[in-house]
Chain A
C-alpha cells in the first residue's frame, strides 16, 4: 500500500508526459486524479494506523544490495510511524492543492504536471523510507523536478535561483552522504530501525559527533537555519505558486524530519550535548528571520523570510529534547506547512490578478477581492499564532517544552511571535485595507472552483487542527515518544 502510494505519482508522471500533444489539456485532470488517489490512500493509512500497535507500520521490506563479504546490506524499506504519517498526509494534501492552483498553466503543461508528480513521489519517499540509502535517494530525487519547475516556470531571476537552490542542497547532500555512509559502514546496516536500537557505534570509523555535525549541515540547509538560509528567499520568490506551496509546505519539513529521525534517534548522545548549541541557532533563526521579514517589500519574499523565522521554532522545540518539545516541533512542521502553503496560494492569487508583488504598489485590495482578503487575513492570523487556529497550538507546545530547558532562549523565541504579529498585520493592512488604488479598478475576486476549493479546504483544516489539535497531535506524540525516551 505504502509502495503503491509512493510510486503511483511517478507512474502518473509518466502517463502525463506521454499524453499526445493534442490532448495537452488532459494533463491537469490526470494530475488531479493521481493526486486525489494518493490523498485517499494517505487518509486511509491515517485511519488504519493502529495507534496502540507497533511503532512502524505498513512496512514493505526487500533486500536491495548486499554482499557475502562486506558486512552491509541496503534494503528497500518503507514504513511509517507517528512522526512520519501526518507528514505523508500533509504531502498528499498539499500536492493536490498544488495541482489545483496550477490549473491555468499554459506553458508546456504536460511537462509541468509530470514534474510536479515526480516531486510528490520523492517527498512521499523521503517521509516513508526507513533505510538510509533509500532516504538519501528520495532526498536527492527531489532536486531534479525542483530545478526544472523553478527554472522553466518561475519568474524573475529564475535560472539563478534554481541553480542556487541546487548547489546549496547538493553541498548539504555531500555532507549527508558522508554521514550516512559512515553510519552504515560502522554499523553494518542502513536500516534506521536497527540503527536506533543499536547502542553507541563501533568505535569509530568517524566520530559520532562528526557524523552528527555532517547530517546537521544537510538538514540545516533544508530547514533552513540561519546562516544557511540564503537560498530560500530566492527560490521561494522566483518559483511558480504551486512550487512555493510545496517548497514551504513540505520540502522544508524534510530538514526537520531528518533532524528528528536521523540526528536525534540514531545519535542521541551527541544530540544531548548539542542541545544548547541548537537552541541558540534556533533563537538566532527566529529573531533574524523575523527582523528581516519586517523590512520586506515583496509579498512572496516576506512570506519566505517568515518561514525562516517559523522553522526556527522547529529547531527550538527539538533542542528541548523532551516529549513536549519534540511534539511541538513536529506540530510546528505540520501547521506551518498548512498555513504557509495557504499564504503562498493567496499571494499567487493576488499576483495572478495584479501582476505585481510589490507591497507599496498594492493598496485597498479588499474592496476588489473580498474573498482573497478574508482568507489571507485568516491565514495571517493563524501564522502569527492566534488561539483557535493551528499555529497557536504548535508554537505554544514548543514554548512549553523548551522553557524548562533553555529559559532565556525561549523568551527570545517568544519575541519572534511578537514580531510576527507586527509583520503580518502590517502587511495585511498595507495590501488589503487602506485607500483603494484606482490602478486596481478592473480586477476581480477569486471565484473559479479551482481557486475556492483548495483555499477553503486549507482554511477548514487549519481551523480543525486549531480547535481539536488531538487529530494529529496524538500521533505525533506517539511518534516522538521513542525518540524522547532515547534522549532522556
Chain B
C-alpha cells in the first residue's frame, strides 16, 4: 500500500485514462444526446479532473514530506522526481485545456486523452526511475503514446509526423538499449546505485563507460531534442496536432533531461568519466543553441520556428547538465539551474503554444506573415504572446531571464566561462527572430480587420502560463528553493 501511495499521481493518471477508454466503449449505448454530452463535456472534463487530481496528489506528497523508494528500489520518490511530477501534472492540465477546442468534432477524443494521460504517467515514472529496466519501460510507455498522438489527425502531414517520429524513436530506443546493455555488462547491475559503484572504481574500463554514455546520450538526446538528434523536430512539430506539439516540446523534453540527469549524475557522476560526459554535453549544448537559433532565423512557419527554438532552448538546459561535472563540479547549482530552467520553460513555451493555437485556429494559418497587425485584432493575445517570446529571449522581468541568469552563473562557477559566453551570444541571436514576431504583431496593417478571440479554456491556460512566467520572473524564490532542494536529492 505504501508503494501505491508513492506512485499515486501516476496511478491516478493511468486509472483515469483506462476509465476514459472503458466509458467510451459504452458511451454509444447512451443515445445520441447523452453521447454528445459525453463528448463535449465528459471526456475532456474527466481528463482534466485526472490531471488536477494528480497535481493535488503530488502537491500533497510535497507538503507531507512523503518520500521513499518503491518496488525494490526501482522507483524513488525524492524531491527531484516530485519536482517533475508537479511539473508534468501541470503540463497535462495545460495540454487538456489546449485540446478541447482543437479536437471539437473528433470522434476519437477519449483515446486521445487516454494517450495523453498514459504518456504523462510515463513521464513521471521516468523522472523517478532508478533502474535501467524501469527507465526503459517508462521511456517506451511515453514514447509509444506520443507516436500515436503525433499522427492523430491522420492527414498527410500528421501521418508523416507520426511515422517519422516512430522510426527515429525506434532507432533512439535501440541506441538507449545498447548503451544500457553495455552499462550492465560493465557493472553487473541494472540499478543506478550498482552502476555508480562500478563506475567510481573502474579506471581500466573507462573506454567502455565512455562508449555507454555516448550511446545513452544519443538515445536520450532524441527525447531532449538536442543536436545532432534533432532531425525529427521540425517536421513532427509542424505536422502533429498543435497541442501535442506543445506537449512534446515541454513534457517530453523536460522528461528527457530528468532521466538524463538521473542516469548521468546518479549513475555516472562519480569517477574518472564524469568530466568526459560533461565535456560532451557542453559541446552538444553549443551545437544545439547555435544550430537551433541560426536555422530559426529563416523560418516562416511559427510552429517550425518554435521547433527550432526548442532545440536552442535544449542547449541552455544542457549548460546546467555540463556544469554538474565539468571543471569545478557544481552539482546543486547545475541541477538547480536545469530544474528552474525546466519550470520557466514549461510556463513560457506552453504559454506561447496556447497563443499560437488560439490565433491559428481563428486565422487558419501558421505563417508568421499572417500575424502582422495581430495587436489590433487581439490586443491581449498579442500581449501574452509577446511576454512569452520575451521570456524565451531571456529579457526581464520574465522567468526566462532569471533562468538564464541562474544557469549561466552555474556555468561560470563550474569554470565553463566559454560556455556561458556562447549562451549569451546565442540569446542575442535568438532575440532577432523572437522579437521579429513581436514587431510584426505591433507594426504594420492587419491582414484582415476581423478580431481574434481565444476560447475561454484557452484564455484560462494562456493567462495561467503568463501569470506563471511573470511570477517566476519577479518573485522566483519559492521555485528556486524547490529546485535547489530537488537538486540536493543527488548529493
Using CB atoms and an 8 Å cutoff, list the residues of chain A in contact with chain B: 64-72, 74, 133, 136-137, 140, 147-148, 151-152, 159, 170-171, 173-174, 177-178, 181-182, 185-186, 205-206
Interface residues of chain A: helix, strand, loop or mixed (majority) = helix
Decide: A72 near B409, CB < 8 A? Known: A67-B484, A133-B396, A170-B431: yes
How far apart are the CA atoms of A70 and B323 in the complex, in Å?
Answer: 13
- Beyond contacts A174-B427, A181-B408: 4 other A-B pairs, Cβ-Cβ < 8 A, are A67-B406, A69-B487, A133-B396, A205-B417
- Interface assignment of B489: CB less than 8 Å from any CB of chain A: no
In the complex, the answer to whether B412 meets A140 with C-beta atoms within 8 Å is: no
| A54 shortest CB reach to chain B, Å | 28
> Would you list 22 pairs from A and B whose C-beta atoms are within 8 A, ordered by A residue?
A64-B474, A67-B406, A68-B484, A69-B330, A69-B332, A69-B336, A70-B413, A71-B413, A133-B396, A133-B405, A136-B396, A148-B442, A148-B443, A151-B439, A174-B424, A181-B408, A181-B409, A185-B412, A185-B413, A186-B412, A205-B412, A205-B417
Decide: A137 near B412, CB < 8 A? Known: A69-B336, A181-B405, A205-B417: no
| B384 shortest CB reach to chain A, Å | 16
Closest 3 CB pairs of A and B: A174-B428, A185-B412, A137-B396
CB-CB nearest in chain A for B488: A69
Contacts of A159 in B (CB 8 A): 443
Decide: A70 near B406, CB < 8 A? Known: A148-B442, A151-B443: yes
CB-CB nearest in chain A for B386: A144
Contacts of A178 in B (CB 8 A): 421, 424
In the complex, the answer to whether B476 meets A65 with C-beta atoms within 8 Å is: yes
CB-CB nearest in chain A for B396: A137
Q: How many A-B residue pairs have CB under 8 A?
A: 75
CB-CB nearest in chain B for A166: B435
Q: Which of the residues B439, B443, B480 comes within 8 Å of A67, measured between beta carbons?
A: B480
- Which has the most chain B C-beta neighbours within 10 Å: A65, A72, A136, A177? A65
CB-CB nearest in chain A for B442: A148
How far apart are the CA atoms of A170 and B413 in the complex, in Å?
Answer: 26
In the complex, the answer to whether A182 meets B425 with C-beta atoms within 8 Å is: no
How far apart are the CA atoms of A183 and B484 in the complex, in Å?
Answer: 24
In the complex, the answer to whether B424 meets A181 with C-beta atoms within 8 Å is: yes
Decide: A69 near B425, CB < 8 A? Known: A133-B396, A140-B395, A159-B443: no
CB-CB nearest in chain A for B394: A177
In the complex, the answer to whether A67 meets B336 with C-beta atoms within 8 Å is: yes
Contacts of A74 in B (CB 8 A): 405
Residues in B461-491 with C-beta less than 8 Å from chain A:
474, 476-477, 480-481, 484, 487
Decide: A185 near B409, CB < 8 A? Known: A67-B336, A137-B397, A178-B424: yes
CB-CB nearest in chain B for A159: B443
In the complex, the answer to whether A206 meets B396 with C-beta atoms within 8 Å is: no
- Interface assignment of B12: CB less than 8 Å from any CB of chain A: no
How far apart are the CA atoms of A66 and B477 in the complex, in Å?
Answer: 7
Contacts of B413 in A (CB 8 A): 70-71, 185
- Interface assignment of B227: CB less than 8 Å from any CB of chain A: no
In the complex, the answer to whether B405 meets A174 with C-beta atoms within 8 Å is: no
Contacts of A186 in B (CB 8 A): 412
CB-CB nearest in chain A for B425: A174
Contacts of B480 in A (CB 8 A): 65-67
How far apart are the CA atoms of A71 and B414 in the complex, in Å?
Answer: 12
| B193 shortest CB reach to chain A, Å | 24
Contacts of A170 in B (CB 8 A): 428, 431
How far apart are the CA atoms of A65 and B397 in the complex, in Å?
Answer: 11
Can you list, as one digit per residue, whether each of B350-363 has a CB less than 8 Å from chain A (1) or not (0)?
00000000000000
| A82 shortest CB reach to chain B, Å | 28
| B437 shortest CB reach to chain A, Å | 14
How far apart are the CA atoms of A165 and B451 in the complex, in Å?
Answer: 32
How far apart are the CA atoms of A198 and B119 in the complex, in Å?
Answer: 53
Residues in B391-417 with C-beta less than 8 Å from chain A:
395-397, 402, 405-406, 408-410, 412-413, 417
- Interface assignment of B420: CB less than 8 Å from any CB of chain A: yes
| B488 shortest CB reach to chain A, Å | 9
Contacts of A68 in B (CB 8 A): 481, 484
CB-CB nearest in chain A for B375: A111
Contacts of A72 in B (CB 8 A): 409
How far apart are the CA atoms of A68 and B476 in the complex, in Å?
Answer: 13
How far apart are the CA atoms of A186 and B330 in the complex, in Å?
Answer: 15
- Interface assignment of B333: CB less than 8 Å from any CB of chain A: yes
Contacts of B336 in A (CB 8 A): 67, 69-70
How far apart are the CA atoms of A133 and B405 in the complex, in Å?
Answer: 10
How far apart are the CA atoms of A51 and B421 in the complex, in Å?
Answer: 42
CB-CB nearest in chain B for A137: B396
| B86 shortest CB reach to chain A, Å | 20
CB-CB nearest in chain B for A184: B409
Contacts of B395 in A (CB 8 A): 137, 140
Residues in B431-446 with C-beta less than 8 Å from chain A:
431, 439, 442-443
CB-CB nearest in chain B for A206: B417
In the complex, the answer to whether B397 meets A70 with C-beta atoms within 8 Å is: no
Q: Which of the residues B402, B417, B428 comes within 8 Å of A65, measured between beta carbons?
A: B402
Contacts of A185 in B (CB 8 A): 408-409, 412-413
Residues in B301-316 with C-beta less than 8 Å from chain A:
none
Q: Which of the residues B406, B421, B443 comes within 8 Å of A152, measured between beta carbons?
A: B443
Can you list, as one digit per residue, whether each of B306-340 has a CB less than 8 Å from chain A (1) or not (0)?
00000000000000000000000010110010000
Contacts of A151 in B (CB 8 A): 439, 443
- Which has the most chain B C-beta neighbours within 10 Å: A137, A140, A178, A206? A178
Can you list, as one digit per residue, whether each of B212-238 has a CB less than 8 Å from chain A (1) or not (0)?
000000000000000000000000000
| A488 shortest CB reach to chain B, Å | 32
Contacts of A152 in B (CB 8 A): 443
| B340 shortest CB reach to chain A, Å | 9
Contacts of B428 in A (CB 8 A): 170-171, 173-174, 177
Decide: A70 near B439, CB < 8 A? Known: A137-B397, A178-B421: no
In the complex, the answer to whether B333 meets A70 with C-beta atoms within 8 Å is: yes
How far apart are the CA atoms of A177 and B422 in the complex, in Å?
Answer: 12
Decide: A70 near B409, CB < 8 A? Known: A148-B443, A174-B425: yes
| B472 shortest CB reach to chain A, Å | 10
How far apart are the CA atoms of A173 and B394 in the complex, in Å?
Answer: 13
Decide: A147 near B332, CB < 8 A? Known: A65-B480, A181-B424: no
Contacts of A66 in B (CB 8 A): 477, 480
How far apart are the CA atoms of A182 and B416 in the complex, in Å?
Answer: 12
| B405 shortest CB reach to chain A, Å | 7
How far apart are the CA atoms of A171 and B424 in the complex, in Å?
Answer: 11
CB-CB nearest in chain A for B477: A66
In the complex, the answer to whether A181 meets B396 with C-beta atoms within 8 Å is: no
How far apart are the CA atoms of A329 and B282 in the complex, in Å?
Answer: 45
CB-CB nearest in chain B for A185: B412
- Which has the most chain A C-beta neighbours within 10 Å: B330, B336, B439? B439
Contacts of B424 in A (CB 8 A): 174, 177-178, 181
| B134 shortest CB reach to chain A, Å | 29
Contacts of A181 in B (CB 8 A): 405, 408-409, 412, 420, 424
Contacts of B405 in A (CB 8 A): 65, 74, 133, 181
How far apart are the CA atoms of A82 and B409 in the complex, in Å?
Answer: 33
| B423 shortest CB reach to chain A, Å | 10
How far apart are the CA atoms of A450 and B420 in the complex, in Å?
Answer: 51
Decide: A70 near B410, CB < 8 A? Known: A147-B439, A159-B443: yes
How far apart are the CA atoms of A10 and B160 in the complex, in Å?
Answer: 49
| A130 shortest CB reach to chain B, Å | 16
CB-CB nearest in chain A for B431: A170
